[in-house]
Amino acid sequence: MKAKLFLIFHGRFPGEKAASLFAAKSAEAFADAGLDVRVLVPKRKGVVGQDAYEYFGVKRNFTIVDIPTTGLSNIFKKISFWLSYRTFAKGVKAHLMAHAGPADIIYSNETLPLYAASSISKNIFYEMHDFPESKLALFARFLGRVKWMLVHNRWKVEKIGKTFDFPANGMMCEPNAVDIDAFDLPIAQNDAREKLGLPHDKKIAVYTGHLYGWKGVDTLAKAADLLSSEFLVVFVGGTAADVSRFREKYGKFERVMIVGHKPHKEIPLWQKAADILILPNSAKENISAFYTSPMKLFEYMASRKPIVASDIPSIREIVDESSAFLVAPDDSAALAGGILLAANDKETAKARAEKARSLVEDHSWSKRARRILDFIEAHP
């Protein structure tokens, strides 16, 4: 009988946010490694009319389990969220009591469901996506129930060591990952542009992702306004509300194109159509500067396209001047300058793109899952 891994995710599944994609790709990779993977998600509507496996383009090698929970309402959102979160945690615990064995692994970045699960299992694996900025004593109590912890970068490793009494041999450092083959499409740039209806006579810089402020998208839109008419900056992604807001602010900018949300399986095509890929994360918020390990960066690296990115710790840990064009964060003039340099110095741009592509080879979802399982085996 295969060992089971229960991956807990409290969110829309499938959903347009990166956390939903992370859960699907992680589940697929753990299942490929030989585990019986069950993804526990709230019983609520995901992307309307979409099958999760089809939406994310993943194999049907893991099981999706709907956990009953209170529905989320657009009224009193904060109260509704906490009611959903608490009932979901109770539902997860009940499911695990019925289906989990003593050797099975309980895996999540969700603290409350893991805390609930820790009363019936010692094999709690916590993947820290952010870092607690308040209620540290409460978080320390939660960590006391955790057997293994994964953090995304060295900054968090050092911060945890200074803040919490967590055993060093129970913690591993592992960044995010990418489906390399999916993003290294064997298609010519002009053919990709033809499929997407993009102009062939422009130097196109592409950003794929959400339109949150800490993503630096406002800086990129303002940088586009500083470029010449031979450039086009394309924004791909965002929730309906954020896209509407962003269009209201920047839709009239001549060199900006806002296409809105696209299925994740279509994103590689947009990246292949680009001359340059942009990661303009802000340094003004800790989630951007220190906490994150951007999946988008790994997707860019796999695409064999030059990358212009903010020079912040979370990004510099993965790429440097040999593999990307790094510019001052939150500075539209510096970002425009980086885009110009990447577009005009084609030899350097190509060399850095190829270096980034070689670096990302070690960051596939399958290799990541294998390292996690090896760590668990080495620290029983």
In one letter, which amino acid is 335? L
Closest CA to 219 of 231, 236, 207: 207
Phi/psi of residue 339, nearest 5 degrees? -65, -45
Predicted confidence band of residue 82 (pLDDT cuts 50, 70, 90): confident
Q: What is the pLDDT of residue 74?
A: 56
Least confident residue range of 129-138, 181-190, 254-263: 129-138
What would the pLDDT profile of 300-354 be if each residue is shown by its tens digit?
Answer: 999 999 999 999 999 999 999 999 999 999 999 999 999 999 999 999 999 999 9
User: At 42, is the secondary structure helix, strand, or coil?
Assistant: strand
Least confident residue range of 111-120, 191-200, 291-300, 370-379: 291-300
What is the rounded average pLDDT of the residues 236-258?
Answer: 95
Q: What is the pLDDT of residue 47?
A: 47
What is the rounded average pLDDT of the residues 195-208?
Answer: 97
Q: What is the pLDDT of residue 186?
A: 94
Domain boundaries, the chain: 4-177+364-378, 180-362
CATH class of 4-177+364-378: alpha beta
- 312 near 281, Cβ under 8 Å? yes
CATH class of 180-362: alpha beta
Higher pLDDT, 197 or 239: 197
Predicted confidence (pLDDT) at residue 71 exceeds the cutoff of 80? no
Predicted confidence (pLDDT) at residue 75 exceeds the cutoff of 70? no
Q: Check for a shared fold between 4-177+364-378 and 180-362.
A: yes
User: At 192, is the secondary structure helix, strand, or coil?
Assistant: helix
- 298 near 137, Cβ under 8 Å? no
Cα(311)–Cα(331) distance, integer angstroms? 11
Cα(265)–Cα(62) distance, integer angstroms? 19
Cα(131)–Cα(123) distance, integer angstroms? 22
Q: What is the pLDDT of residue 46?
A: 47
Higher pLDDT, 49 or 352: 352
What would the pLDDT profile of 162-187 be if each residue is shown by its tens digit?
Answer: 999 999 999 999 999 999 999 999 99
Contacts of 256 (CB under 8 A, 6+ apart): 221, 224, 225, 232, 233, 235, 250
